[in-house]
Structure 1
Amino acid sequence: MKIADQIVLVTGGARGVGAASVRAFAQEGARVVINWRNSGDAANALAAEIGERAIAIQAGVADRASVDALVAQAQTHFGGAITTVVNNALDYSFNGDARAQMTDISWDDLAAQFSTVVRGALNVIQATAPGMAAGRFGRVVNIGTNLFQNPVVPYHDYTAAKAALLSLTRTAAGDLGPDGITVNMVSGGLLRTTDASAATPDAVFDLIAGMTPLRSVTTPQEFADAVLFFASPWSRAVTGQNLVVDGGLVRD
């Protein structure tokens, strides 16, 4: 299915990577559902910017009933099933100096990340998979991190949740593949700049840029290009994969 024919749900779609992904899909002609929890003004402004092919809907992805209501509203609005999901919702601030250390991080810190990242993705996949299966087409793109391979800053809670999401990506690919649904992950490093990375000092951005072959820090717009790939016809035989998009910082 061409991107222009897809109905795309982007969780956490009002800011950062989510907003960049929304714009990228909209530019290709897709209809886009902008999910938000706390960023209503930004979500509604983005929907107004795009026009009739976008709708902003509030829902906390960790709550299954809210996700079911989101999906039902989106499908009624656009008159068809959601075909494509970008699981991007996140509640985190990247500040290495302020992060919780291994000696004092609490389970509650990890549980909070697992709730949004893993439970949220599970809820969204389960709520949209029946519609995808009925149409024999579905694309799920989970947003990960290159900190699996290169934990330059040990964000224990965030990285653990994203590692679990990678495992869910691969097991879901096996279960959903027979229904024509692919499940993949796009993993970035520090992006310049999102709300989540706004607390990061410029010196850190410069250090990372100097370590990449491209001598630059990836932007949300560049990252969104890779998200589009996994929704496009060119990736139709690709599933269960993790693509690192970080300017070549991680190469294994």
Structure 2
Amino acid sequence: MILKDKIILVTGASRGIGAAVAKKAASEGAFVIVNYLRNEQLAGQVVSEIEANGGQAAPLQADVRDEVQVEEMINQIIDSFGGIDVVVNNALNHYTFNPKTRKTAWELEWADYDQQIAGSLQGAFHICKAAMPYMKQQMSGRIINIVSNLIDFPVVPYHDYSTAKMALLGYTRNLAKELGAFGITVNAVSPGLTYPTDSSSETKEDVREMIIGLTPMHRLAMPEDIAGAVLFLASDWASFITGQCINVDGGLVMN
């Protein structure tokens, strides 16, 4: 088991990519904190499934945009488990990938950008700021931020979402530079359109087929595909990898 006895916090883990990461991490021996915003029932279902398969997990509510709630959550993790080894910043403000309902560049207001930046960048900032002192003290840690391949290939220009994710990548690389001396790695995983998730539920079939046609592996990403890359970066196999962004999109983006 590549994550045996590791304490892992996955934000936004009640469904979609976050739930897949939580389940896969638990199957590899980690104790997983399933963070959620509102849906206690869904988070509980993720925990129940993990436990039914012999894993360990606990649900923990906090709005990652709220600094006080995040500090309380991290303190509770430290008090209960004695440390924190990995954080996966997956939470975001809800976004719908539907080209027909997206706002164009001339329709957007700064409030649209602000909302997405708060969900992606501000949320990750609060989590990292609260977790860093404990990781520094133990001279080890893994931080993994979920971005998007739209930052490299805006096949549909979701301006506010993509801009927030690009900001998160910049934050990732600056953290990697500063935290490497403490044995902490900071990386990003960049999914392509991932189906099925809540965000992709309104993506029309013609758009999905267009993306599949551009993708060398001729399918869309699934949540489990993203989980595999996250677990690799969380494991000792990736102990000398930091400041990197791994595209998980079947080859749609190559760099």
Normalising by the smaller structure, the TM-score range is over 0.9
Q: What CA distance in whole angstroms lies between the structure 2 residues aligned with 1:2 and 1:45?
A: 24
* TM superposition score normalised by structure 1: 0.97
Equivalent residue for 1:80?
A: 82
Residue 149 of structure 2 is aligned with which of 146, 158, 181? 146
Instruction: Give the stretch that moved more between structures: 49-58 or 132-141.
Output: 49-58
Q: How much does 1:74 deviate?
A: 2.1
Q: What CA distance in whole angstroms lies between the structure 1 residues aligned with 2:2 and 2:131?
A: 19
Q: How much does 1:7 deviate?
A: 0.4
Gaps of 5+ in 2: none
Q: What CA distance in whole angstroms lies between the structure 1 residues aligned with 2:62 and 2:97?
A: 24
Task: Kindly indicate whether the alpha-carbon contact (under 8 Å) linking 1:83 and 1:139 is maintained by their aligned counterparts in 2.
Answer: yes
Gaps of 5+ in 1: none
Identity %: 43
3-state SS of paired residue (1:177): helix
Kindly indicate whether residue 106 of structure 2 is the aligned counterpart of residue 106 of structure 1. no
Kindly indicate whether residue 12 of structure 2 is the aligned counterpart of residue 8 of structure 1. no
Equivalent residue for 1:193?
A: 196
Kindly indicate whether residue 238 of structure 2 is the aligned counterpart of residue 220 of structure 1. no
Q: How much does 1:134 deviate?
A: 1.4
Q: How much does 1:95 deviate?
A: 1.2
Moved over 4 A (4+): none
- Report 1:130-169 matches (<5 A): 130-169=133-172
Equivalent residue for 1:49?
A: 49
Residue 238 of structure 2 is aligned with which of 232, 235, 239? 235
Paired letter, 1:24? K
Q: How much does 1:2 deviate?
A: 4.6
Task: Kindly indicate whether the alpha-carbon contact (under 8 Å) linking 2:2 and 2:28 is maintained by their aligned counterparts in 1.
Answer: no
Q: What CA distance in whole angstroms lies between the structure 1 residues aligned with 2:228 and 2:7?
A: 17
3-state SS of paired residue (2:218): coil
Q: How much does 1:218 deviate?
A: 1.0
**Equivalenced residues, count:** 251
Equivalent residue for 2:91?
A: 89
Q: What CA distance in whole angstroms lies between the structure 1 residues aligned with 2:83 and 2:133?
A: 9
Instruction: Give the stretch that moved more between structures: 50-59 or 6-15.
Output: 50-59
Q: How much does 1:76 deviate?
A: 2.6
* TM superposition score normalised by structure 2: 0.95
Q: What CA distance in whole angstroms lies between the structure 2 residues aligned with 1:4 and 1:203?
A: 43
Task: Kindly indicate whether the alpha-carbon contact (under 8 Å) linking 1:192 and 1:205 is maintained by their aligned counterparts in 2.
Answer: no
Q: What CA distance in whole angstroms lies between the structure 2 residues aligned with 1:2 and 1:172?
A: 24
Kindly indicate whether residue 30 of structure 2 is the aligned counterpart of residue 27 of structure 1. no
